C-alpha cells in the first residue's frame, strides 16, 4: 500500500526544491526529517511538512507503522508562474518570473528482512 501526498503551489521554484528532494529520495521517513531539520533552506520546511503529512495519513488512514515508512518516490513539478514586470531604462520593462512548484511524496512500508 502506497500513500500519496501533493503539496500544491508552494512558493519555491522547482529547481531549488529538487536539490533537497534528491537528498531524501529512498530514505526512511525519520531519516529524511532529520536531514531536512539540519538543512538551512526554506524549501526544507515545505518538503518536511509534506513528508510529515504523508506519514500521518499512512498512520491514521491506513494503520501503517510510522517507523517502518520509507519514501518510495518524491519529486517536484512545475506549477503556475506569476509574471511581474520591473521598470528599466528608457521606458522599457523586463519580466520577472516568480515560479512555484508542486511537491509529490509517496511513502510505503518497507519490507522487514528475515535474518539468515
Dump the DSSP string for 28-90: BHHHHHHHHHT--SHHHHHHHHHHHHHHHHHHHHH---GGGEEEEEEEEEEEEEEEEEEE-GG
| Domain extent listing, the chain | 2-109
**Which helix (H) or strand (E) element contains residue 25?**
none
pLDDT for residue 111: 75
Tell me which residue has cell 509534506.
Answer: 50
* pLDDT tens digit at each of 116 positions of the chain: 899 999 999 999 999 999 999 999 999 999 999 999 999 999 999 999 999 999 999 999 999 998 899 999 999 999 999 999 999 999 999 999 999 999 999 999 987 666 56
Cβ atoms < 10 Å from Cβ of 4: 14
Q: Can you give the C-alpha Rg of the chain in angstroms?
A: 18
Question: For the domain bounded by 2-109, which CATH number is listed?
Answer: 3.90.470.10
Q: Alpha carbon of 107 to those of 39, 100, 104: distances in Å?
A: 21, 23, 10
Tell me, yes or no, if the pTM score tops 0.75: yes
For residue 85, the cross-strand partners are 95
Amino acid at each position: 500500500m502506497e500513500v500519496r501526498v501533493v503539496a500544491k503551489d508552494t512558493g519555491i521554484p522547482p529547481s531549488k526544491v529538487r536539490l533537497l528532494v534528491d537528498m531524501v529520495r529512498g530514505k526512511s521517513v525519520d531519516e529524511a526529517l532529520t536531514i531536512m531539520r539540519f538543512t538551512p533552506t526554506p524549501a526544507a520546511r515545505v518538503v518536511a511538512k509534506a513528508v510529515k503529512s504523508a506519514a500521518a495519513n499512512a498512520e491514521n488512514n491506513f494503520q501503517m507503522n510510522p517507523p517502518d515508512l520509507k519514501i518510495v518516490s518524491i519529486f517536484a513539478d512545475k506549477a503556475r508562474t506569476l509574471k511581474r514586470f520591473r521598470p528599466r531604462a528608457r521606458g522599457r520593462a523586463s519580466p520577472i518570473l516568480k515560479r512555484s512548484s508542486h511537491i509529490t511524496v509517496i511513502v510505503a512500508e518497507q519490507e522487514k528482512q528475515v535474518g539468515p
